[in-house]
Structure formats: C-alpha cells, structure tokens
Amino acid sequence: MFSKPFKMKLPTADQALAGRAQPLRVSALHVVNGAPLEPKEPHLKQAIFGLGCFWGAERMFWTIPGVVSTSAGYAGGYTQNPTYEEVCTGATGHAEVVRVFYDPARVSYDELLRVFWEGHDPTQGMRQGNDMGTQYRSVIFYFDEEQRAAAEASRDAYQSELRASGYGQITTEIGPAPVFYFAEDYHQQYLAKNPHGYCGHGGTGVTCPVGLTRNA
C-alpha cells in the first residue's frame, strides 16, 4: 500500500516515487478508429490536456473530426513510468492527461482548446467535481510558442466569460510539454471498452469564445 501525504499537494522531486525504467505496455492501435497511438505522419501535431479523469476526457477528443489519435496517460510529475496506483497517491506529481494527435488542416488548435475549456470546470484547483487529488488538476502542455500563445489567450478570454457567470479564478497550469507516459492498457479508450463506465465530466455550461478561428 502507498501512503497519501500528497493527495492535495504536489511533491518535490526529492519526495516523489522513483518509478521504473520499463514503460507500461499498451496496444499499438486505437480501439475506436484503428489509428496508431503514436502516428508518424509528419504533418500531424500533438497536444496534451488534463481535465480530470482521463476516461471521459479522452472520449471528448477522439470524437472531434480532424483528431487522428488519442491516448490516456500521465504527465507533469517526476516519477518515471508511473502506475495508476502510484499516480493516485499523489506522490508522483503527475496529472491524468490525454495526448492528442491532430491534423491542423482539418481542426484548429483553438477548437481543441474550446473543447478543453468547456469540458470541465478549470477553477477547482486539485480536483474535478467529486474526483479529488493532484492528478485531477487542470493542465495544458504546449509543444511550441504558437500553442503557448493560443492557450494563454484562450485562458484569458474564458476567464472573462467565467467571471461574468459567477465563477472564480482559473487554476489551469500552462507549461511546456513534459515526458508523456502511457497509462495502463485498460485505461486506453476506456469508455469505448466500457460504454457505461464512469465519466465525471460536466463542465460549467459557460461557452468559450475561441475555436475554429485559426490553424496551429
């Protein structure tokens, strides 16, 4: 059993669990559309979002036209190749995230950001609804300066809309993309394998004023 001293507080690098050198094994192909989980086409771009439990979050993105592949994983912490049980203790520092491969000729990064913001409540800190812990925090990890600028601009635009609707300050972390670690195979496309499985996403009901405005 793991202790949970960091359930609502991020550990430092010295406090985090060590992990392991061997990656977790996952299927090579997406259960829903048959695409590789790591497509190699040079025109595709990547995005990483964390918005609570990755089961429902991943489903939000695989349904978007122009999204080629998605996968559930862990990012933003210290532990190498963490397990789900380790992440749930809070002692790895990771967030549950979705990695998205998308075709920028078919869907803009702004549209992905709109789905991200509207898909959860980004003002809740280390939780999302009834799911509490550092692994459920809201995060955007960017791969280039264009994504960074778009993420920050969308945050500021959505903050104005949220404030007008009575919500507080956005707590979303925006930072450069760290190492992405695959979650265990049973987590991949979980709600396609388990159609009646748990999904705690509801969003705020506030419309985000970005999307379909630019390619990035």
- Is the CB of residue 68 less than 8 Å from the CB of residue 39? yes
pLDDT, tens digit, for every residue of 155-179? 999 999 999 999 999 999 999 999 9
- Is the CB of residue 122 less than 8 Å from the CB of residue 49? no
Domain ranges, ordered by start, for the chain: 45-193
CA angle at 191 for the pair 188 and 192, rounded to the nearest 5°? 80
pLDDT over threshold 50, residue 1: no
The distance of Cα 103 from the centroid of its chain, to the nearest Å, equals 18
Q: How far apart are CA 146 and CA 46, in angstroms?
A: 12
Instruction: Residue 172: name the closest of 162, 183, 182 by CA.
Output: 162
Please indicate whether residue 199 is annotated as part of the active site: no
Q: Residue 107 is which amino acid?
A: V
The distance of Cα 51 from the centroid of its chain, to the nearest Å, equals 5
Q: How confident is the model at residue 4 (pLDDT cuts 50, 70, 90)?
A: low
pLDDT reported for residue 82: 98
> Mean pLDDT throughout 13-41?
97
Name the CATH superfamily for 45-193: Peptide methionine sulphoxide reductase MsrA (3.30.1060.10)
